[in-house]
Structure formats: C-alpha cells, structure tokens
C-alpha cells in the first residue's frame, strides 16, 4: 500500500502504541489524525513527532457518541481507523474490590468506544479501508485482578469478527499485544513497573517484553494487507505458550 495516499485516524495516538504508529505512518508519508481526550497530551505528541504538516490533532472522548459523530464530521473522508485507547485506571482489582465505575471506564474505552468509531466512521471510509482495534493477552492468559480487562478484550474480538461481516468490504481486525512497555503500566504496577516487566521478560521465549514499535508494525501490516479481515493478530512474544 502506498501510504502517501492514505489518511489515517489514530484514537489514542498521543502516547504508547498509538504514538509509535503515528510516527511510523508519518514516516511513510501518510496524513495522520491523532485523537485523544486532552489537548495538552495531543500538543506534546505533536511536538514529539516533529510538528509535521501532515499531522492533525483532535480532542474527542470516544465513549461519548456526540463527540465521535462530531469528530468524523470534522475530519471528513478517511482511509483507515485505528483505536489503541484504553482507560484502565483502577480496573486491576481482585473481585471483592472492583468498583463498577472503574469497570465501566474500561468498557466505555475499549468496547463502546470502538463500537461508536465503527458506527460513525464506516460511512466515511473508502471501500478499500480498514478498522483496527487493540485487544490484549488478558483475553487468553487472564490473571488475578484482571477479570474486567480480560472480559472486555474478549468482547472486543467478538465485535471485530461481527463487524468484518457487516461492514465488508471494509476490513476489520484486532491486534492482541502481550506485555508492552507503555505508560499504561504506571496504572497496572505503579512503582513495581520495572521489576514486573523484567520478570515477564525472563519468562517469554523472545527474552524481552514488547515495545510500542512492535505493535505499530503489526497494525501497519493489518492496514496494508487487503486480504486480512476478521482476524486477531497476536503480537506477544510467545506469552500464550508459557
């Protein structure tokens, strides 16, 4: 795929995997729109990416339907939609300690958000376009304190398969990362982040945890491969094997 002819919306593109993908797509000449909930983070991302003319930013909360609809009205026709957004703060709790409000934020950001992006974005997509969401290893290797995230990741992958049928020929896929060194680990492990990731690196067949660029490369494949739809691409260093 010739990326200099593509316009790509990346929700969650101001940090982590989304930011890495934005950089990758810009390097290839794509026009990129990164969307997020905060202007400050979007401005910081723009600066980190070198403030290119081919980059737009947009403030939008994807759990609010009116903001999603307004986002697509603002950016117009588009070729690809990607969402890496996830609000998991407070979600990693043992069952007796789970607060419904924290669980609802995960559902809103990782399930209803993608649903709304597909609903309002599909009419703006070219027939050769694609939608890519990010699920995660928790759906396959759940752990204590991770029941909410595991369930939402699994639900998202079910949504992907259904949308691939309903929205065809638009392609709809998911990437399922393993443990990736992103800012989200500040919420998951706090001050134990480095030790936790180092311990997992020793377990994995590849000998390290993921980097944002690893996931960006996988999403780039799904954007460009016109014969892949309804799939979940696992990029997790062999985590499902150990």
Cα–Cα distances in angstroms (integers) from residue 163 to residues 95, 158, 159, 189, in the given order: 31, 9, 6, 34
Q: 43 an active-site residue?
A: no
Name the active-site residue from 63, 109, 135, 147.
Answer: 135
- Say how far apart CA 108 and CA 104 lie, in whole Å: 6
In order of 93, 188, 239, the CA distances from 90 in angstroms are 7, 8, 24
- Residue closest to 94 by CA, chosen among 156, 147, 39, 27: 147
Give catalytic residues, as residue numbers: 135
């Amino acid at each position: 795929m010739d990326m200099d002819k593509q316009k790509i919306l990346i929700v969650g593109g101001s940090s982590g995997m989304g930011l890495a993908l934005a950089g990758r797509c810009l390097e290839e000449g794509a026009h990129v729109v990164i969307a997020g909930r905060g202007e400050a983070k979007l401005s910081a991302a723009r600066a980190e990416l070198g403030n290119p003319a081919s980059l737009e930013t947009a403030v939008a909360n994807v759990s609010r339907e009116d903001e999603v609809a307004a986002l697509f009205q603002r950016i117009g026709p588009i070729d690809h939609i990607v969402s890496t957004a996830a609000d998991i703060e407070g979600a990693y709790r043992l069952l007796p300690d789970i607060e419904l409000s924290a669980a609802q934020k995960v559902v809103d950001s990782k399930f209803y958000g993608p649903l709304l992006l597909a609903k309002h974005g599909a009419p703006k997509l070219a027939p050769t376009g694609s939608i890519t969401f990010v699920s995660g290893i928790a759906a396959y290797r759940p752990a204590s304190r991770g029941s909410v995230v595991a369930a939402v990741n699994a639900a998202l992958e079910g949504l992907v398969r259904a949308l691939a049928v309903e929205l065809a020929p638009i392609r709809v896929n998911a990437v399922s990362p393993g443990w990736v060194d992103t800012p989200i680990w500040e919420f998951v492990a706090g001050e134990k982040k480095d030790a936790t990731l180092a311990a997992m690196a020793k377990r994995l067949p590849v000998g390290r945890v993921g980097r944002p660029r690893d996931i960006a490369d996988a999403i780039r494949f799904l954007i460009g491969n016109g014969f892949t739809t309804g799939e979940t691409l696992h990029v997790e260093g062999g985590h499902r094997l150990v």
